[in-house]
Amino acid sequence: MSGGQEQQNDPYLWLEEVTGERALDFARAHNEVVAERFATSDRFAELEHRILDMLDTDTRIAYPTRRGPWLYNFWRDAQHAKGLWRRTTAEQYATDDPDWEVLIDLDALAAAEDENWVWGGAAVLRPEQSLALISLSRGGADAKVVREFDMATKQFREESDGGFHLPEAKSSIRWIDADTVYVGTDFGPDSLTDSGYPRIAKRWKRGEPLERAQTVFEGEPGDVSISAGYDRTPGYERHFVGQAIDFFNEIVYLLDEDGALRRLDTPTDASVSWYKDWLLLRLKTPWEVGGETYPAGALLAMDLNEFLDGARNFETIFTPDEHTALHGYGWTENHLLLITLEDVQTKLYVLTPGTPWTREPLGDAPPMATTNAINLDPLEGGDEFMLITSGFTTPATLLSASVGRSAAPLKQEPGFFDADGIRTEQFFATSDDGTQVPYFVIRHGDHRDRPVPTVMSGYGGFEISRTPAYSGASGMGWLEHGGAWVMTNIRGGGEYGPQWHTQAQKADRHRAYEDFSSIARDLVARGITTTDQLGAVGGSNGGLLMGVMLTRYPELFGAIVCQVPLLDMRRYHLLLAGASWIAEYGDPDKPEEWEYLSKYSPYQNTHADRPYPPILLTTSTRDDRVHPGHARKMAARLAEQGHTFWYHENIEGGHGGAADNKQMAFQAALIYEFFTQMLIEDRKNA
């Protein structure tokens, strides 16, 4: 059957009507079944309560965003379900009980305006920090309303009084100065890309009607998005435009005062950044230039002005190897900090520009943990920053640091589950093509002599690396009860650099699925678990992974949880932001690309005569990134074919699936209760 015929014969297209009453009735009916089966026991209530207490407790670290002398934080707790946007000074933050200045009480705002506002972020004007652009979404969607906020009066500036205001859309807006912004939004017909993001960037002056704002760049409908911005580093001010031609390729331009564009002659798939006179390029594919060939994953540096004049004498300041990849980097005033992954464990270095650049280790990062540098603020001067470190059983520690000074603990998060005796181990499985694929196992040390109920999680896409991190919910819901938790690092991610990603892109996507299934077999072969005791969970692209595990490898699993998933790969590019992911998956409208997509697309590969493990599908009505129709239609098809499944749809919550802490606690408790019933109780009763 051709792709076109497949679409015409789809009996469940009506489930793609996001807010259609028939579709919502479908969701409500299934929600009642899920609630009755999984959310009525004392055990569920106790776990949900514990997770909610963890999310609401004041003992959590209030992670700050540094903006000069101010530290900003968005905070939710039991008294502030929607949250507070607040700030304090560095001196106050270092105390046990900081004095926070509340800027916006989102609960009060939502009540006053009768809107289900969910926080979407704030862009504070530097250096004055007197104004901010606040993004708010209805129910947690990606599309947001943007409103200007006066920090002195703590009031929104109304549009009628000259305040910047954008109606609900997937907008991009950035400050130039107190009276001017760069904006990309829904300007009307033909102003969005096929992916639903801005196609046009404009310079908008205060008091000017939006439709009269000056266009600075106009992209193509097939682009993913267009944006413009302003680098306000004193003495190095620069205007720039980004043209994302697909998810992984962007053309970068410098925008001169006269409106002329100067394209940076860099590989479109490279990550491009600059600081003062330094240009940095992180390569995703090998690049031959200036008589040199630089490898994928390398970080290159040179003088930006010399580059613009035609020079190409880059210095390689990071070179990957078989075990090591670049995980992140950022500037202090005088140094560049590097975070690397060495077999998925972080190490930190400080680099100093010069001829040549120098590199030194930046302290010792704990094993089986992840350490990241945050709050680097070169605009304000100084080489101060913060470090966050945590592991699967080690709660997060926030440290204050500076180049040349040892890091000092600043805040410590408490433990939320009994981790006594729980150990973290790293193993490698051999995939179908012989590739060694790493994964972490977290379990009680005294359970190593027997198989135990185990849940493995996976993602494997978009060069996103999964690294060790503390999870109180999995500890409370699974580890405390003797289960094992597994985090996989399959291809498609970025754990070993860009080539780890590209090895599972488009026609090679099957490698991610082979990696995950190989780890499942390896867990059984090592005696860590059995097939009947093995569960799997993943969301978004990881939800697609779960759909493939269900339909292609059902014999490997005892239960599956599939969250906010892509599942219908014939129509994914027609739904919401789906067109932006064609560079990752392929174009189903091209016969040669539908050929490989059709072989694994879960919705098209579900069969009545094949036994499947029980599956819980979850999604959100307000997810405007991955369409809820994917999960709805899969549930309907599984029902039609007589398979065992459960379906739950949060009527709000966006792509994260939850709009507040209570919803997050419910979603987490639901997953662990499902696995408890499917992998433990049902096996005991079999």
Return the active site residues: 540, 655
Residue-level length of the chain: 686
Structural tokens at position 446: 């005294």
Asked if residues 455 and 439 have their Cβ atoms less than 8 Å apart, the reply is: no
In which element (H, E) is residue 238 found? Answer: strand 238-246
Q: Which two tokens stand for residue 39?
A: 């959310």
Q: Exposure pattern of 305-333 as b/e (b: 16+ CB <10 Å)?
A: eebeeeeeebeebbebeeebbbbbbbbbb
> What residues have CB less than 8 Å from 624, skipping those under 6 apart?
141, 142, 143, 170, 576, 577, 654, 655
Say how many Å lie between the first and final Cα of the chain, rounded. Answer: 40
Of the candidates 268, 171, 254, 174, the one whose C-alpha atom is nearest the C-alpha of residue 217 is 254
> Phi, psi (5° rounding) for residue 306?
-65, -40
Token pair recorded at residue 377: 């603020």
d(CA 619, CA 16): 13
β-bridge mates for residue 101, sequence order:
87
Q: Which helix (H) or strand (E) holds 563?
A: strand 559-563
Q: How far apart are CA 263 and CA 255, in angstroms?
A: 9
Encoded tokens for 629:
């129709």
What tokens does 595 get? 């050929």
Instruction: Annotate 80-97 with DSSP letters as a single string.
Output: EEEEEEEEEEHHHHTSSS
Taking the C-alpha atoms of 99, 103, 109 and 115 in order, what is their torsion angle to the nearest 10 degrees?
-110
Tokens of 390: 């945590």
Judged by DSSP in three states, 684 sits in: helix
Q: Is 513 helix (H, G, I), strand (E, B) or coil?
A: helix
User: 110: which residues sit within 8 A by CB, 6+ positions away?
Assistant: 82, 116, 117
Sheet of 271-275: strands edge to edge? 271-275, 278-282, 299-303, 315-318
Instruction: Kindly provide the b/e burial profile for residues 613-625, where b requires at least 16 CB atoms within 10 angstroms of the residue's own CB.
Output: bbbbbbbbbbbbb
What DSSP element (H or E) covers 552? helix 541-552
Structure tokens at 590: 């091209």
Residue with tokens 């680097």: 376
**Quick check: helix, strand or coil at residue 153?**
coil
Residue 544 φ then ψ, to 5°: -60, -45
Rounded (5°) CA angle 116-105-109: 40
**CA gap 106, 113 in Å, rounded:** 10
| CA-based torsion, 626, 628, 629, 635: positive or negative | positive
Tokens read off for 52: 């909610």
- Burial, 25: exposed, middle or buried (Cβ in 10 Å; 0-12, 13-18, 19+)? exposed
Q: Helix 591-600 to helix 541-552 angle, to the nearest 10 degrees?
A: 70
Pairing verdict, β 101-105 and 117-124: unpaired
